[in-house]
Structure 1
Amino acid sequence: MGLQQWAAKLAGPGDQTGLLVAAAIAPGTFEPSLVPRSLPDQAIVTGIGTTLSYVLTVATQDSIEALASGLAGRVGRGSAPTRQRRAALLIDLAVIPVGLAAAGALRRRPQESTLRGVARQVAWRTGVTGLGASLFTLTELGLTAADGALGAGGRIARIPLGAPVGLGVGLALEAYRRRGLPAEPVTTDAPATEPLRAAVASVGVVGIVSVGALAQRLLADGTAALLAGVLPGGRVVWRPMGHVLTLAAVAGAGTVLWHRAIRSIEAGTNVIEPIIDDEGGRRWVGEHASGSANSLIPWATLGREGRRHVLLYPRPQPVRDLPVSLPDLAISSVMGEPAAAEPALVYVGLDSAPTAQARVDLALAEMDRVGAWDRSLIMLCSPTGSGYLNYCATAAASYLTRGDLAIVTMQYSKRPSPLSLFKVKDAREQNRLLWLAISARLRERSGPRPRAVLFGESLGAHTSQDVLLHWGTLGPQALGIDRALWIGTPYGSGWMHQVTGEPRPDVDPNLVAMVNDFEQLQALPESHRATLRYVMVSHDNDGVTKFGADLLTRRPAWLTDARPAVQIVPGASPRGIPARLRWRPITSFLHGLMDMKNAQKMQGYRAWAHDYRPDIARFVAQVYDLPATPAQLARIETALQAREEIRDRLLSQHLDAMTPSPDRFVPPAPER
């Protein structure tokens, strides 16, 4: 197909309709979402959003044109092209009310099936395509009339106005939608993305996507020609098979690259950092921690995050012989009273045993070794995909229990959380086996029993809650779980939706709550706080807690009219969902994807998006019912921030080679 043929095709009604609808959605892609986007982010959103809208609209209009070709002989006289356009216009006008009415009839339902959502979007897309095609036809008729009146000889009639008309419609719609929106406080000081630069960059994204699509089309045509040369049938017959074969080849190459990347990522988690190599930091691992000299769990199998966890924990008393001047963040120093014990840290790496059951057996044996059953609290933690545990959460619990706790963790993946979504099932089964075994051991125990509590962050919260799926609040009660704290629960957690959605017979709403910040927890009625056992802390601007695949097919509950208003809370992540946010097919999915990515970017030590570190100490104290004076809580929060500030410095070099910190932190003197 030559350049002129491509240009002629692009000027046709189907492609012009696609350009019109794609241009109409472009202004909406620049609307702000939960957190600011960078220029590349905006370019990707606009480029991919408009490209997908174009492709879907063209495919829909091509179907309408195909249907019109069968009706062209029944719509009056004239040339074949004239009858074809007339039939297409009639169908376009007919599908507008039919498509939009069908989309309206398929209203969103709680827990609706994916098929229903897809059907609603097909109906909506059909109606919008008919509307766009009708608008383009009217524009075309106007140009033709102007061309004849001015005697332009077809020069005016040939002007492709699909994109300009669509852009004008889109800008007008966005201006109309902004009317009446309430003034809301600014929640970020990040500069806004420049629309012109983002638009130029998005054109580049569209170009890259288009080149890829063209390359695939050429490969498919070439494959079809080869098949037609040796098998019965022409190129048209074999072109679909050409598409299948080329896409299969691309998928195969992508699979190979994917597995190589995953192997590289997993290998990186086994690299021992300088501070925790066998001759360095390992000697500072306490006797009650996995990986120590007498541990049943080999040091080399803990993985990177496991080694960090068992090294960087609060000690009961100050360590006097460290080879570097480090802050005194011992439990006794921060709490202003003697520590009750040294924290027991049980961490079973993915490589510590070959099967889930073997890892569970190893965890139980290690719990026996460290005396976990004699502690006042057993904190059952499900880590993120990489095996990471929130240091602030585990350190806060260590301080608040004065060290009298056991923290038990089993790794289920060595990949970052976005690449570990397919490991949720494995994590659920592993956690279920462990928690059932611990529950049985606690029931068999005579005399005082430790309380069992749950903790999870991000994908760790999801994999922790998944054990309780379809059991509501009865699940943790049946397992003997006294309390639970989850931070940054991903939107994909089914249990989270079950306990916060429509009423269920297995859910006691007095036992569970989801809040944005600690003050919001404190603002709950006293009767609710008295019975509260299971708390989810999810920042309202955390994209991880809002992004799901269903954004493609339906408006989520957090974007309904019942959303809370935006509030600025000093020292906390802002509350509420901006009124300007509305659900847009495709665009909202891409916005959510970028919000999820950007939420995980740390912006200093502050409560914001997916960073819950400054929130954690008071939540641990309140939810787990661990007593502390206001002064002790303040010192814990100061110590947690200091620990975070020195952690990266510690992990970047050999312990023996570290230089003293000029801004050495010393906790305030305890109250007497």
Structure 2
Amino acid sequence: MAAHEASPPDIWGGSRPSSAQTGLLIASALTSETFAPSLAPRSAVDQGLVTGLSVASHYLVAVAAQDALSGLAERLVGSTFLVGSPWLPEQHRTRVLEISVDLLAVPVGTSLALLVPAAPRERTVRALARFAACRVALSGAAGASLDLGHAGAVHLDRTLGLSGTFARVPLSIPLGAGVAYVVERNRSHQQLPTPDLESVSSNTRLVSVLVAGGVVVGLSGFAAAEGLLTRRLGDALHQVLPGTTGFWRVVARGASLGAVSTAGVALWDRAMQRIETATLTDEARIAGLDPTTVTTSTVSGSGRSLVPWDTLGREGRRHVLSRVPTRPAAAGGTVDAREDVGAPPRPFVDALVGPATDSPDFSIETVMGRPAVAEPVQVYVGLDSAPTPRDRVDLALAEMERLGAFDRSLLVLVSPTGTGYVNYVALAAVQYLALGDVATVTMQYSKRPSPLSLGKVSVAREQNRRLWMRIVARLREMPEHRRPRVVVFGESLGALTSQDVFVDWGTIGPAALGIERALWVGTPRTSRWMTEVTTPDRLEVDPDTVVVVNDYPQLEELGPERRARLRYVLVSHDNDGVTRLAPDVAFSRPDWLSPEARTPRPAPVSSDVPVSPRGTPPWARWRPVTTFFQTLVDMKNAQAPGPYRAWAHDYRPDLVRFVSAVYDLPADPEVLRRLDHVLEAREELRETLIAHAEERRRAAEERSPTTVAP
């Protein structure tokens, strides 16, 4: 019996590969996939961030899964039914059980994943369970591979008498690199339509790798420092206070993480304060300039307004200054601010870039070929215009009464983006098509960019709901023949915050608030209302009244009868990262990456109608964790300023026809084509004016460094 016990080959010498090595193997193997193209090209720095964050996340998940498997093996080592087993020698019990658990994790994890297959609109818990099962199986396979590889290396060392030469070689990175090479070689042979669709060109791969390495090293350094601090502090507390070392290390870890969280919150608050302070600077406001000379009596901030000019903020001031003039400027040099040309008003242009600037005639009368019916009303209540949401609602209602918003035939309820921005093209389009007989009302809820304003969604939802309910009550007091039609417009986070008012009410919600129609562009994928109305067989949803489209020709393809029943239209470009990103993309394949969604859908060729590329690019694939970070970067890049085109998160060229169709403001095709050119020209002029104003502001600061910009 003793001879039998000594006979098994001693190939389990040395320590077992750690969970960290398993994590390195998996992270190394999955590095190549981070370079795969997604919705849009990425810069070298962006690629480095995607690779670094993805690799770090894969590593952490793998380590956690391997730790769980190792913990299970340790519990089995002490099990009574294995003690004294003749087939499991005592000296090999731990290693045999560890590798057995790893090997069993592969079929068990795979089977569990197959038991919960992916389903449309599945619950998060279900998707997480499948993801966890797959990762356990993957970690088991990686751990077993390292164990077997290590055993083989030990056996080879002893056969050749090399005293552990091969056993000391870490296998995780070479094995991972080999797998990554195979994956990359297979991907590189896939045919892409054009070379520019490659995520990163070969000459920038080095930069990407360096950035990724910096991210991984930084995260690893932080984790190592935090772990060292926890151990040292825990041991120190154990020396002076009762309790075990393990207990005080847990306390120390909580204290260190709490300190890190406190520092992070402080840094976040400071960064947000700087961002919000920047929105108070106004390059459109020149020292000594009287706001009443550059505004009309029907916009907020004017002499007649209840909203002080100084409380509008940068985006609010830009908003009221971008109104469309109703009539051409009078011949000669002197122009009254209420009758001037272009966008913004002539005195404002003179103040910015000098009286010699020639501004084209963008008045309603000139562009539409007909006199304006009324002066457009633009109500804008800034975040600083009143202290609370309720006060801002009261102020907005009073402002609507004072400026005559209820006297217009069309009332547009606008929810802005995070900074308070309202799409100038959408605003101008509705003012042109309504011949000025329109009022818009907007309330700001944040001063931060939309990605940093997610915590303000509840504030926006609440003040929108309060205002819109008060408007409904006000309209019911009016004779029916005098009531304006009520519509909604929202873009990006503004779309989400306005849709949130109707959550759990489906398409009944807007109708209950007297809202006749709505146009939303660039709706974030996290919108609960959008999920509701696009889910089949919901009692509170009339599917004939709502649609999600990529472009206007797609709307036309629905046919006249279907379009006649539509009331709520969501325009979401298929290559817009904002409309694609959601947390569950990390662990569950979204519908926009299904094989059906990646089927090429060519858009009609037309020189008149702007069309964003349709469908998900056929080269895009869902990759757990990695796709989330790729789409996160796609979202960032989609919002970057760029040329005037229907692409990603830029919906400006789409808006003329959608505003006309959705708000029932019909116009001839020739008029729509004319508006296409006019609105693009207005955008170019606006951007030029802002750039010139910024140059003048910087020049003034350089001349007078102590002067605070107004």
> Which TM-score applies when normalising by structure 1?
0.91
Contact map agreement 1:274 1:280 (CA 8 A) in 2 = no
What residue number does 2:674 align with?
635
CA distance in 1, matches of 2:144, 2:386: 65
Residue type matched to 2:379 in 1? Answer: V
Unaligned runs of 5+ in 2: 1-12, 336-345, 698-710
Q: Is 1:465 the counterpart of 2:499 in the alignment?
A: yes
CA distance in 1, matches of 2:536, 2:14: 51
Deviations 1:489-537 (A, max 9, x none): 0011001111112321111111111111111111113221121111111
Q: Is 1:609 the counterpart of 2:643 in the alignment?
A: no
Contact map agreement 1:559 1:583 (CA 8 A) in 2 = yes
Deviations 1:296-318 (A, max 9, x none): 11111111111110111110012
Pairing of 1:473-488 with structure 2 (within 5 A): 473-488=507-522
Residue type matched to 1:648 in 2? Answer: E
What residue number does 1:390 align with?
423
Corresponding residue SS for 1:626: coil
Which sits farther off after the overlay, 72-81 or 113-122?
72-81
Residue type matched to 1:384 in 2? Answer: T
CA distance in 1, matches of 2:127, 2:556: 38
How far residue 169 of structure 1 moved from its aligned partner, in angstroms, is 2.4
Q: Is 1:590 the counterpart of 2:595 in the alignment?
A: no
Deviations 1:460-506 (A, max 9, x none): 00011111111111111111111111000001100111111232111
C-alpha change, 1:293 and 1:80, in structure 2 (3 Å) is farther
What residue number does 1:67 align with?
72
What residue number does 1:491 align with?
525
Which sits farther off after the overlay, 594-603 or 647-656?
647-656
What residue number does 2:167 align with?
157
Corresponding residue SS for 1:513: strand
Deviations 1:59-106 (A, max 9, x none): 222232233233346376788663322110111111111112222223
What residue number does 2:475 align with?
442
Contact map agreement 1:147 1:157 (CA 8 A) in 2 = yes
Contact map agreement 1:281 1:311 (CA 8 A) in 2 = no
Contact map agreement 2:546 2:569 (CA 8 A) in 1 = yes
Contact map agreement 2:364 2:435 (CA 8 A) in 1 = yes
Query: Identity of aligned pairs, percent?
Result: 48
How far residue 352 of structure 1 moved from its aligned partner, in angstroms, is 1.4
Which sits farther off after the overlay, 343-352 or 566-575?
566-575
Q: Is 1:339 the counterpart of 2:378 in the alignment?
A: no
Pairing of 1:527-546 with structure 2 (within 5 A): 527-546=561-580
Corresponding residue SS for 2:30: helix
Which sits farther off after the overlay, 471-480 or 489-498?
471-480
What residue number does 2:441 align with?
408
How far residue 408 of structure 1 moved from its aligned partner, in angstroms, is 0.8
What residue number does 1:15 align with?
20
Q: Is 1:313 the counterpart of 2:323 in the alignment?
A: yes
C-alpha change, 1:468 and 1:381, in structure 2 (3 Å) is same
Q: Is 1:554 the counterpart of 2:591 in the alignment?
A: no
Q: Is 1:649 the counterpart of 2:672 in the alignment?
A: no
CA distance in 1, matches of 2:532, 2:391: 32
CA distance in 2, matches of 1:110, 1:491: 15
Contact map agreement 2:34 2:51 (CA 8 A) in 1 = yes
CA distance in 2, matches of 1:51, 1:190: 20
Residue type matched to 1:51 in 2? Answer: A
Contact map agreement 1:185 1:567 (CA 8 A) in 2 = no
What residue number does 2:52 align with?
47
How far residue 609 of structure 1 moved from its aligned partner, in angstroms, is 0.5
Corresponding residue SS for 1:52: helix
How far residue 395 of structure 1 moved from its aligned partner, in angstroms, is 0.5
Residue type matched to 1:308 in 2? Answer: R
Contact map agreement 1:301 1:349 (CA 8 A) in 2 = yes
Pairing of 1:215-254 with structure 2 (within 5 A): 215-254=225-264
2:211 to 201, 220, 238: 201
What residue number does 1:353 align with?
386
C-alpha change, 1:82 and 1:200, in structure 2 (3 Å) is farther
Corresponding residue SS for 1:481: coil
Corresponding residue SS for 2:255: helix
C-alpha change, 1:115 and 1:10, in structure 2 (3 Å) is farther
How far residue 286 of structure 1 moved from its aligned partner, in angstroms, is 0.6
Residue type matched to 1:46 in 2? Answer: T
Aligned residues: 650
CA distance in 2, matches of 1:281, 1:605: 30
Residue type matched to 1:451 in 2? Answer: R
Pairing of 1:511-530 with structure 2 (within 5 A): 511-530=545-564
- C-alpha RMSD of matched pairs (Å): 2.6
What residue number does 2:279 align with?
269
CA distance in 2, matches of 1:32, 1:520: 26
Deviations 1:291-341 (A, max 9, x none): 100111111111111111011111001234233322211111111221111
CA distance in 2, matches of 1:189, 1:521: 31
CA distance in 2, matches of 1:190, 1:57: 26
CA distance in 1, matches of 2:409, 2:197: 42
CA distance in 2, matches of 1:90, 1:424: 50
CA distance in 1, matches of 2:219, 2:263: 18
Residue type matched to 1:410 in 2? Answer: M
Pairing of 1:83-122 with structure 2 (within 5 A): 83-122=93-132
Q: Is 1:125 the counterpart of 2:135 in the alignment?
A: yes
Contact map agreement 2:109 2:134 (CA 8 A) in 1 = yes
Contact map agreement 2:43 2:200 (CA 8 A) in 1 = no
C-alpha change, 1:278 and 1:427, in structure 2 (3 Å) is farther
Q: Is 1:31 the counterpart of 2:65 in the alignment?
A: no
C-alpha change, 1:47 and 1:427, in structure 2 (3 Å) is same
CA distance in 1, matches of 2:215, 2:285: 43
Residue type matched to 2:418 in 1? Answer: G
Contact map agreement 1:72 1:80 (CA 8 A) in 2 = no
What residue number does 1:258 align with?
268
What residue number does 1:4 align with?
none
How far residue 188 of structure 1 moved from its aligned partner, in angstroms, is 5.3
Contact map agreement 1:280 1:656 (CA 8 A) in 2 = no
Corresponding residue SS for 1:467: helix
Residue type matched to 2:483 in 1? Answer: R
Deviations 1:347-373 (A, max 9, x none): 111111222222222111111112212
Corresponding residue SS for 1:71: helix
CA distance in 2, matches of 1:118, 1:518: 37
C-alpha change, 1:62 and 1:23, in structure 2 (3 Å) is same
Contact map agreement 2:45 2:207 (CA 8 A) in 1 = no
Corresponding residue SS for 1:304: helix
CA distance in 1, matches of 2:251, 2:119: 39
Deviations 1:580-606 (A, max 9, x none): 322222111111211111111122111
Contact map agreement 2:16 2:95 (CA 8 A) in 1 = no
Contact map agreement 1:543 1:595 (CA 8 A) in 2 = yes
1:581 to 611, 620, 645: 620
CA distance in 2, matches of 1:606, 1:534: 24
Highest relative contact order (Cα 8 Å, sep 6+), 1 or 2?
Answer: 1
Deviations 1:209-228 (A, max 9, x none): 11111111111122112211
